[in-house]
Amino acid sequence: MNRTLLSGVLVLALSASANAQPSQGSVVISGAWARATPPGSSSAAVYLTIMDRGEADTLTSASTPVAAKAQLHEGTVMGGMMRMQPLDSLAIDKGRSVTLAPAGSHLMLSGLQQPLKAGDIFPLTLTFSQAGPVQTFVTVQPLKAGHSMPGMAMPGMSQ
């Protein structure tokens, strides 16, 4: 098989994996995405949806090989400014879903190994108190993705 065809097959396989809904027991992860990072940025946010189809569970940590640290954060908009604070965990109620989204809770990646570029796909492992580690894949969207949401102007935000 020539390199071009092999590369194409690999890209299709990764794309299919990124759009799949990884699950471990009762926890299903879907729609994981991040924005491309501007030059010089060493942090990014990841957004996704967690569905708990069984007993209640708790997201306790996250990790990815593309960043030194992945931490759960809660974002709130006050006076037109985005404020973030770390969360130790995130409860997922039985039979419910929780969406991590711009201007709300998200996973903050710090110490990026390299800039995130639109079209990139990278692995992310979420660890739950009951389900244990669940791996998903994050698709990197263009830098402007999700900026139509209220409160997304984030002057002075650094991590």
Q: Give the residue from 11, 8, 101 showing the smallest Cα distance to 47.
A: 101
SS3 category, 38: coil
Each residue's pLDDT tens digit, 2-54: 333 333 333 434 444 444 455 556 899 999 999 999 988 999 999 999 999 98
Residues forming beta bridges with residue 45, ordered by sequence position: 108
Residue 147: pLDDT band with limits 50, 70, 90: low
Query: Residue 144: pLDDT above 60?
Result: yes
Asked if 150 and 103 touch (Cβ cutoff 8 Å), the reply is yes
Query: Residue 150: pLDDT above 80?
Result: no
pLDDT of residue 25: 67
Question: What kind of architecture, by CATH, is found in domain 3-141?
Answer: Sandwich (2.60)
**Average confidence (pLDDT) over 45-64:** 95
Each residue's pLDDT tens digit, 78-113: 888 878 889 999 999 999 999 999 888 999 999 999
Query: Residue 77: pLDDT above 70?
Result: yes
SS3 category, 79: coil
Cα–Cα dist 76/157, whole Å: 12
pLDDT of residue 117: 96
